[in-house]
Amino acid sequence: MSEKTFKRYTITSALPYANGPLHIGHLAGCYVPADTYARYLRLRGRDVAFVCGSDEHGVAITIKARKEGISPQEVVDRYHALMQESFRDFGISFDHYSRTSAAIHHETASDFFRDLYEKDAFIERSTEQYFDPEVGQFLADRYIEGTCPKCGYAHAYGDQCEKCGSSLSPEELIEPKSKLSGSTPVLKETKHWFLDLANYTEFLKDYILGSHAHDWKNNVLGQCRSWLEAGDGLQARSMTRDMDWGIPVPVPGGEGKVLYVWFDAPIGYISATKEWAALSGKDWEPYWKEEDTKLVHFIGKDNIVFHCIIFPAILKTHGAYILPDNVPANEFLNLEGEKISTSRNWAVWLHEYLADFPGKQDVLRYVLTANAPETKDNDFTWKDFQTRNNAELVAIFGNFVNRALVLTDKYFEGRVPEAGTFGPMEEELLAQMAAFPEKIAASIERYRFREALSYVMDFARMGNKYLAETEPWKTIKTDQERTATILHVALQVVAGLSVLAKPFLPFTAARSRKRSG
Amino acid sequence: MAAGSPVQQPGLLFEKIEDKVVEAQVQRLLDAKKANALQEQPAAPMKEITSFEAFSQMDLRVVTVLRAEKMLKSKKLLKLQVDTGLGDRTVLSGVAEHFSAEELVGRQVVMLLNLAPRKMMGIDSEGMILMAEDKDGTLRLLQPHEAVAPGAVIS
């Protein structure tokens, strides 16, 4: 862990792409862990800006719009509203949720591009790209389909084959076809602005493999290492596209071109912070420019290269910004043994979950944390969901709290009884209890949320065991004072548990508060 | 928690989730998988090339269903009375699992008129009603998009 002390925290969750509803894989990947982290920090009185927003640019949105016969704006409006509602429903406590079609974001991203352009960070390069002669348009990645040269799948995209997972470039496809018209595309020259990542190799090696070798997660370091130490090194990446949906390229010769979605999306975190600050009367700059700010990006593993390689290169070139202190990326969550897939409807959709399990947001949050894909891909199964609910939340957590309250209600008119003399059991329990907050905090600060939650459950188990061994329902018949002591101590455990569980189970905590009114 | 302060009202924080609830969720996924499999299944391959002469020998007509009744001893067969424009005919059709007798009465359907009669369950079936079979095996009627005189030739 770093020795540094931080004055404020800027926490981001990956911008969800506005072309479909959210499912449990999204929640487990970067929204529940980030929210738990933000809630924990706020509970400790830290200064937190937790921001996110809808990612509304890119090719997939224009393809969806074309398929449904509506405008791209209509597509993003629909899913922005739906996603925002799901986040609210599941208690993801963003300080601000923005969108990349917002004017402030267009302005922020354009300024960034112009700044880098003026610093000569881009290489202007003309390349040949596929062009649909019938429609008169260049075909970005997913607008081209053809046979995969690796596995022979007939519907591989210009950037990837979904069958065998190979990443491709459009020229590799056999018999390429335009998805716009079905015609055979032709190669045509076009100019783009490339960020030459090779120039950043030493900086990135130093930043990641040097400074963060011990506080970043192994899965993240492993992926970065494979990029940084690859035989042919980092490649120049085009930061612009031939399209009309997105942020126009703001430099001479940029007509008809937009910024690459992965150039503008991470800048969306900055735009969202600006918007939040304007709405709440704060200054956004310290959250992005002061060295005593801790910047943490929560993402899924498919976004590691963009957050650990490309975004830091952009920030570094700009010069006025701090770099991410950590990027605790999760691996993937599978569903019943198979990869979650939106197009194949192999998913548990959040809005459907809530319709089927009203009021049970915390159960899902609990299961997704207890079984989080923190170090490797994990599997969500409904059987495991049921078992964790019945055997852990109901039988341990709920049972303990309920027993302590019911007995207090029955024997002491619902008031915390005065404790008598503590025996060895009480001394031991209270001593153990005292160690938990720090233990849980240390796990959370190292982004080990599964571990932290398992300690919370250990705490509840201790309370359960204490009641089972002291049997206040028996002592009440012979020893009122002893019973008072037992319930006094049990209620201290309940109080401690409700604080420790708060970042993980916010709805349960809120319900308890309401009841105690 | 200080002695003497009131505690919260007891109440269940979490409820047990029953088997049938999670089984329904698993079933939803299995249904999605089935729908995907059907979606991906290619259409039946093309039959061998035929000649125009062979096709011309098929006498395809639009006919109107006058009466329909379920065959007592059969799960699959409906007995239809149809107006062929050349007189009424009796046709046995294996569609009872897809349509009720009432659903068919009054409808115009496609029929192969000159198929050799065949005796089924003691009744002569004089022709065959043509239907489209979907990927999941359900049958759909073929109807002219507007009514035609019974016996209209299909070519």
Rounded Cα gap, residues A146 and A194, in angstroms:
26
- The answer on pLDDT for B106 being more than 70 is yes
Q: What are the backbone dihedrals phi and psi of residue A197, each rounded to the nearest 5 degrees, phi first? A: -65, -20
Contacting residues of B for A335, CB less than 8 Å apart: 29
Contact A417/B29, CB-based, under 8 Å?
no
Contact A346/B29, CB-based, under 8 Å?
yes
- Binning chain A into helix, strand and coil, the percentages to the nearest 5 are 50, 15, 30
User: What is the per-residue pLDDT for A139?
Assistant: 86
Q: Is the CB of A408 inside 8 Å of chain B's CB atoms?
A: yes
Nearest CB among A344, A394, A515 relative to B9 is that of A515
User: Which residue type is seen at A510?
Assistant: A
Rounded Cα gap, residues A193 and A250, in angstroms:
11
The 8-class DSSP code of residue A143 comes to G
Is residue A513 very low, low, confident or very high in pLDDT (cuts 50, 70, 90)? low
Model confidence pLDDT, tens digit, residues A174-208: 999 998 888 999 999 999 999 999 999 999 999 99
Find the mean pLDDT for residues A444-459: 98
Find the mean pLDDT for residues A457-477: 97
Model confidence pLDDT, tens digit, residues B118-154: 998 889 999 999 999 988 888 999 999 999 999 999 9
Find the mean pLDDT for residues B27-45: 88
Task: Map out the domains of chain A with their CATH numbers.
Answer: 8-120+201-216+261-339 (3.40.50.620), 381-516 (1.10.730.10)
User: What is the per-residue pLDDT for A512?
Assistant: 66
Q: Determine contact, residues A261/A245, Cβ cutoff 8 Å.
A: no
- Estimate to the nearest angstrom the gap between the alpha carbon of B141 and the chain centroid: 8
A496 → chain B, closest CA residue: B1
Model confidence pLDDT, tens digit, residues A381-390: 999 999 999 9
B15 → chain A, closest CA residue: A394
Rounded Cα gap, residues A304 and A38, in angstroms:
21
User: What is the per-residue pLDDT for B9?
Assistant: 81
Q: What percent of chain A has pLDDT over 90?
A: 84
- Estimate to the nearest angstrom the gap between the alpha carbon of A25 and the chain centroid: 10
| B63-154 placed in CATH 2.40.50.140 | yes
The shortest C-alpha distance from B27 to chain A (Å) reads: 11
* Entry field: residues in chain B: 155
Burial B19-45 (b: 16+ CB within 10 A, else e): eeebeebeeebeeeeeeeeeeeeeeee
Q: Determine contact, residues A50/A38, Cβ cutoff 8 Å.
A: yes
Model confidence pLDDT, tens digit, residues A46-89: 999 999 999 999 888 988 898 889 999 999 999 999 999 999 99
User: What is the per-residue pLDDT for A2?
Assistant: 46
Contact B13/A409, CB-based, under 8 Å?
no
Residue spans of the domains in chain B: they are 63-154
The shortest C-alpha distance from A341 to chain B (Å) reads: 11
- The answer on pLDDT for B73 being more than 70 is yes
Find the mean pLDDT for residues A461-481: 96
Instruction: Tell me the range of A78-92, A135-149, A333-347, B37-51 where mean pLDDT is highest.
Output: A78-92
CB pairs under 8 A between A and B: 97
DSSP class per residue in A184-252: PPEEEEEEEEEEEGGGGHHHHIIIIIIITTTTS-HHHHHHHHHHHT-TT-PPEEE-EES-SSSPBP-ST
Q: Is the CB of A43 inside 8 Å of chain B's CB atoms?
A: no
B35 → chain A, closest CA residue: A344
Give the number of other Cβ atoms within 10 Å of residue A184's Cβ.
14
Q: Is the CB of A418 inside 8 Å of chain B's CB atoms?
A: yes
- The answer on pLDDT for A514 being more than 60 is no
User: What is the per-residue pLDDT for B93?
Assistant: 94
Q: Which of A138-142, A182-186, A375-379 has the lowest mean pLDDT?
A: A138-142
Find the mean pLDDT for residues B70-94: 94
Rounded Cα gap, residues A207 and A242, in angstroms:
33
Select the residue from B1, B5, B7 to test the A interface by mutation, using most A Cβ atoms within 10 A. B7
Is residue B67 very low, low, confident or very high in pLDDT (cuts 50, 70, 90)? very high
Is residue A517 very low, low, confident or very high in pLDDT (cuts 50, 70, 90)? very low
The 8-class DSSP code of residue A296 comes to E
User: What is the per-residue pLDDT for A137?
Assistant: 82
User: What is the per-residue pLDDT for A297?
Assistant: 98
Is residue A350 very low, low, confident or very high in pLDDT (cuts 50, 70, 90)? very high
- Closest-CA residue to B82 (of B138, B152, B154, B155): B152
Contacting residues of A for B2, CB less than 8 Å apart: 416
Select the residue from B1, B14, B40 to test the A interface by mutation, using most A Cβ atoms within 10 A. B14
Is residue A367 very low, low, confident or very high in pLDDT (cuts 50, 70, 90)? very high
Nearest CB among A336, A356, A417 relative to B3 is that of A417
- The answer on pLDDT for A515 being more than 80 is no
* Chain position carrying tokens 């319930």: A487
User: What is the per-residue pLDDT for A127?
Assistant: 87
Q: With a CB-CB cutoff of 8 Å, which residues 289-348 of chain A face chain B?
A: 335-336, 344-346, 348
Q: Determine contact, residues A28/A449, Cβ cutoff 8 Å.
A: no
User: What is the per-residue pLDDT for A164?
Assistant: 79
Find the mean pLDDT for residues A263-274: 97
- The answer on pLDDT for A115 being more than 90 is yes
Q: Determine contact, residues B91/B61, Cβ cutoff 8 Å.
A: no
B9 → chain A, closest CA residue: A515
The shortest C-alpha distance from A498 to chain B (Å) reads: 11
Q: With a CB-CB cutoff of 8 Å, which residues 361-400 of chain A face chain B?
A: 363, 382-383, 385-386, 389-390, 393-394, 397-398
Contact B26/A382, CB-based, under 8 Å?
yes
- The answer on pLDDT for A495 being more than 50 is yes
Find the mean pLDDT for residues A390-403: 96
Please state, rounded to an integer, the average pLDDT across all residues of chain A.
94
Nearest CB among A382, A397, A515 relative to B14 is that of A397
